[in-house]
Structure 1
Amino acid sequence: MTKIKNKFMNRSWLLLLATGLLLILGSCNKQLDIQSSRQADEAGHWTSYEDARSGLIGLYGLFRAAVADNNAHWLLGELRSGDFKSVSRPDLKAIIDGNLNASFPAIQSVTNWRRFYAVVNACNLFIERVKECEADQRYTESYYKLDIAQARTLRAFVYFYMVRIWGDVPLITRSQDGTFEQLPRTKQDAVLSFVEQELKEAAPYLPYLYSGNDPEQKFPNNYYGNNSAYWLNMPMTRLGAYALLAHVAAWQGRYVDVAIYTDFIINNASKSNLKLLSSDEVVNSLFDASNTTLGYNQLLGFSFLKTKGETTTEGHIEELTLANTTLYAMSKQMPDIYVPKDVISVIFPKTNGNDDRFGVDTTTFLKLPTTRYFENYSSAVPVFKKVRVVDGSAGNRGKFAVFNSSIVFTRLEEIRLLRAEALAVLGQTNDAFTELNVIRGQRKITSVSPASGADPIDEIFAERRRELMGEGWRWYDLIRYNRIKHNNAAFNELIDQGGIYWPIAQDVLNRNPKLVQNAYWQ
């Protein structure tokens, strides 16, 4: 958590996160790359209901910090060969151009997987020790089963996240103490097999809603003393686990399974208060988890709530994309990254003039009736404003901005587009277009008919490009698209040679001789 300097966190959150850190930092590093030094005696930390709660919330805090550190979620998923360009930062340009061996601190940080293994070890430790908290009668069996399911799901999520970045990664399923163990990398298929099995076993023990109506009476009614609004968009739900299962299957090209998992999510969406959002709701509310009027619309993500003291200066896409605009008088005159106008015109073509995310008047091609995604379009560097949850931003010229936007991994719109992708690959073209047109209808653009001769895969990924811009999907979508189409020789070669994965940080390699660098980067 080297870059997230959250000086605004309240004391309770710091205590919870610190407890998790004390329990895991001593043992997480020794399994892979460095000798351990214990930070605290664990023996007294697994005796109560409060210990279980603090340990569990610590897992979420560590994972959130791992994906937010140095804006890693966007550097990893949005920049490489993507739509954003760097205004002046050479490190961001290096990532965009695929020069991932460049010696920039941001790249060195992103290629270091230790922060993810801190989460893995914390999950392992929690799974092994939290049973001891049943010595406190308040920590019932229903709490234990639910908390274990969350820890297993989080651990699976971490491994899937790492596989997409590095391919083969060491698979560690137990915490270790006192013994220095250097482990080699595990083949990604074996890691993903473990991930899928964990998610399948954990999912039935996760609720659709926390502290919601539970007809089965197997989940705590008032989870850790808080109502459903308190847990809004926070813990892993059953549908979140199925969303991960769908993406694991898509990454492996198992589209029959993708269709099954996404169908389950869509058919049960109402149980988690999920709905498709209007463009206004996406831009104004989706990334602001403090807005509770929408219900549970972040299917899977990480929130930063001002009410819980989680305002931060870093770890949000706004840090990269916002600048001094007419609406937000910030001291930052230019963004770090932007989408060039010629790229915008391709993503949002004139034929989509009614697109209420962004578009031009189809009569004059001059008026800009919909500007939810961009502003300052008349300038050389348009400002991407789709995600903008800025704290105290009005009239703060000369001050640095702080942010509260959530990192949204997936939402119902993304899942429906993923289902459309699966149906198209499976040859169910009419159904694929039906799913695609559901999303197009939400964005006020005309349907695409199978009779038009349009390629369903091209249309679906073009819609993903528009709908999910700035959410960390572009690079992974390019990989899946090229695996399906297999008509781009240069990208196919990148896939075949393992160039789609990132290099492992040299610091990690130096500390563990059993690790081997990705062949493409040797």
Structure 2
Amino acid sequence: MRNKKIAGAIGVLALTLCCFSCKEFLTVEPVDRLTGNNFYRSIDDVESNVANMYSMFFDKINEGWIMGGIGEARSGEIIASPGANGYSARRVVEVLGENDLLYAMDPSAPWEWYHYERVTNWTRYYQVIQTANILVNKLEEGIPGVSDVDKQRYIAEATFMRCFAYWWMVRLYGDVVYYTTPYNAESLPREGMVSVLNKCIADLKPHKDNMPWAHADPALKGARASRGSIIALLMHMNMWNAGFDRNNREGYFREVASLGTELIQSNTYRLYPLTEEGWSTVMKGRSDESLFEFYRSINYQDNNAALSPFGDHFLRWPYKFPRFNNQISHCYYIDTYMARLYPSAVADKRADFWFEDMLSNSGQFIAVKFAFNVYASGNEDRNPDNTFLIFRYPDAILLHAEALAELARDNEAIASLNMIRERAEATPYGGGGGQELKDFIFWERCRELFGEGHRYFDLVRTQRIMNPTFARNPLNSDQYNRRAWTWPIDPSARNNNPRMVLNEYWLTR
């Protein structure tokens, strides 16, 4: 029966998702008022265009429980809570954990309203890329009222968003179609992901110093790209390539170590204390800990989908409303994983401060990490008023530590690692160097970045996804090499593009 459902899902995917296709492949139709030749007449037009790029990208991660589905659930530690509101639908988290993406997208399954088939459609990302390409082109031609300093800053910001979209797609799909021309109509093949990211690194790095460390307007902090955002993205792209371009990994690690040192020594960013006031500020957004985020606030009547915040699945009343159908959390993390993250014998304030009933193996589990900005609400289904964090300062510090450890610069790696543990009031790392240190840094990223969408991608890029010590449902080497860690690609990507191929693993399994 289930095989028939999966076969049906493939057919429906091929038939129904084509409605998302464009008139020409990669000739993406952008929002008319933001891309026409008559639009770029002032700096206000540029600002509107930049704001639209961020908004278009957020549209994709607001389509459902995306942050949880792509970056957290696929490693298998999340279980639906029996008796929770919508229990049958919530069990999709377990299907994701088994890497059964075709079943997760099955429209006949009880979780069809999660719409994971939308993850396979990359059109919106290419709209962001094309909008960035056109903006760069228009800025280079010259726009009235835009000074040379502002021109370079806007080009840097548009280049950041272009490279950010490519990096995001690489992690989802592997090889992608790469182009930077403003109006592309040529049929292009997919390009190897390492090559794409190397081109992005070469594209973005020269613009780094054209961006300010901090914006003059504090309302833009974290919510708009800065030099810190660019450094964080460059670090992530280098670390991804280090995992797949292993003959050149030392060069990538050296680059990450240098970028991390530059970021730390800038003294622009800081770690907030783990107090209610400190952590609520981080989660609210626009803090000194944010390198990049999609700032969303109920005070601005932002239209967040009820399902989209990560914390939605791990909060219950009184942290999530309404009370009558949120008596227990929708899902929980299994106790063996949580005990591995926060051993009872090791001091770590995060274990108590960020969680309630952490080892309950039931809907009593609460990720209080995402519950510090609760506001009064009646019977409306609302989550706490948090931002969507993408790059946070501790993420970059731990990438710095990881790269240093890989370069056998153990003392420096431990110093960066202990910056994070000190803020967590955790026992400082006192172990040895080498693999012991590298593994500890990996687990520290799991601890510190819990629920922020990094875990699964860290497993993939470090190849720990094949090791049951680190992943509950590991891939075997054949699955890994055939890229079972990717998502399927919407068949509409082949429309009018004879050079396009889909992800082979999801066509032949």
Match of 1:59 in 2: 53
- Tell me how far 1:402 sits from its aligned partner: 4.8
Conservation of the 8 A alpha-carbon contact between 1:256 and 1:426: no
Q: Deviations over 1:93-152 (max 9, x none)?
A: 2212100122245221111111211111111121122456632x3x22222111111001
Match of 2:419 in 1: 438
Match of 1:197 in 2: 202
Per residue, is there more helix in 1 or in 2? 2
Q: 2:290 aligns with which of 276, 285, 298?
A: 298
Q: 1:286 aligns with which of 279, 282, 289?
A: 282
Distance 1:46 1:309 in 2: 28
Matched, 1:109 2:109: no
Distance 1:287 1:425 in 2: 31
Q: Give the counterpart letter for 2:393 in structure 1.
A: L
Match of 1:458 in 2: 439
Q: Deviations over 1:373-425 (max 9, x none)?
A: 33586572212221236564x352x3211553222222221112112211222
Q: Give the counterpart letter for 2:294 in structure 1.
A: F
Matched, 1:118 2:127: yes
Aligned runs of 1:65-464 on 2, under 5 Å? 65-87=59-81, 88=87, 89-102=90-103, 103-104=106-107, 105=112, 106-130=115-139, 134-135=143-144, 137=145, 139-176=146-183, 181-211=186-216, 228-253=217-242, 254-269=249-264, 271=266, 273-280=268-275, 283-289=279-285, 295-310=287-302, 312-314=304-306, 315-325=308-318, 330-333=323-326, 334-352=328-346, 354-358=347-351, 370-374=352-356, 380-381=362-363, 382-388=365-371, 392=375, 394=376, 396=378, 398-451=379-432, 455-464=436-445
Distance 1:375 1:457 in 2: 29
Deviates more, 1:96-105 or 1:446-455: 446-455
Cα gap change, 1:30 to 1:182, in 2 (>3 Å): farther
Distance 2:404 2:55 in 1: 36
Deviates more, 1:251-260 or 1:29-38: 29-38
**Runs of 5+ unmatched residues, structure 2:** 1-19, 82-86, 243-248
Q: Give the counterpart letter for 1:124 in structure 2.
A: N
Distance 1:28 1:172 in 2: 18
Conservation of the 8 A alpha-carbon contact between 1:233 and 1:300: yes
Q: Give the counterpart letter for 2:138 in structure 1.
A: R
TM-score by length of 1: 0.79
Q: Give the counterpart letter for 2:55 in structure 1.
A: G
Q: Give the counterpart letter for 1:324 in structure 2.
A: W
Q: Deviations over 1:312-346 (max 9, x none)?
A: 24332133332224786534324333213333222
Match of 1:7 in 2: none
Cα gap change, 1:109 to 1:151, in 2 (>3 Å): same
Conservation of the 8 A alpha-carbon contact between 1:482 and 1:491: no
Distance 1:97 1:441 in 2: 36
Distance 1:326 1:117 in 2: 37
Distance 1:73 1:378 in 2: 24
Distance 2:278 2:486 in 1: 30
Deviates more, 1:461-470 or 1:328-337: 328-337
Larger relative contact order (C-alpha < 8 A, sep ≥ 6)? Answer: 2
Conservation of the 8 A alpha-carbon contact between 1:355 and 1:445: yes
TM-score by length of 2: 0.81
Cα gap change, 1:83 to 1:469, in 2 (>3 Å): farther
Cα gap change, 1:282 to 1:97, in 2 (>3 Å): farther
Q: Deviations over 1:337-378 (max 9, x none)?
A: 3213333222211122x21111xxxxxxxxxxx242335865
Distance 1:45 1:521 in 2: 42
Cα gap change, 1:37 to 1:444, in 2 (>3 Å): closer
- Tell me how far 1:514 sits from its aligned partner: 2.8
Match of 2:451 in 1: 470
Distance 1:259 1:478 in 2: 21
Cα gap change, 1:272 to 1:508, in 2 (>3 Å): farther
Deviates more, 1:80-89 or 1:414-423: 80-89
SS at match of 2:349: coil
Cα gap change, 1:205 to 1:454, in 2 (>3 Å): closer
Conservation of the 8 A alpha-carbon contact between 2:271 and 2:288: no
Conservation of the 8 A alpha-carbon contact between 1:46 and 1:133: no
**Runs of 5+ unmatched residues, structure 1:** 1-26, 212-227, 359-369
Conservation of the 8 A alpha-carbon contact between 2:421 and 2:428: yes
Q: Give the counterpart letter for 2:240 in structure 1.
A: W
Conservation of the 8 A alpha-carbon contact between 1:239 and 1:265: no
Match of 1:492 in 2: 477
Q: Give the counterpart letter for 2:188 in structure 1.
A: L
Q: Give the counterpart letter for 2:67 in structure 1.
A: H
Distance 1:326 1:51 in 2: 41
Conservation of the 8 A alpha-carbon contact between 2:208 and 2:231: yes
Cα gap change, 1:351 to 1:301, in 2 (>3 Å): same
Cα gap change, 1:123 to 1:327, in 2 (>3 Å): closer
Matched, 1:515 2:504: no
Cα gap change, 1:351 to 1:61, in 2 (>3 Å): same
Matched, 1:45 2:39: yes
Cα gap change, 1:176 to 1:423, in 2 (>3 Å): same
Q: Give the counterpart letter for 1:372 in structure 2.
A: W
- Tell me how far 1:303 sits from its aligned partner: 0.9
What is the CA RMSD across the aligned residues, in angstroms?
3.1
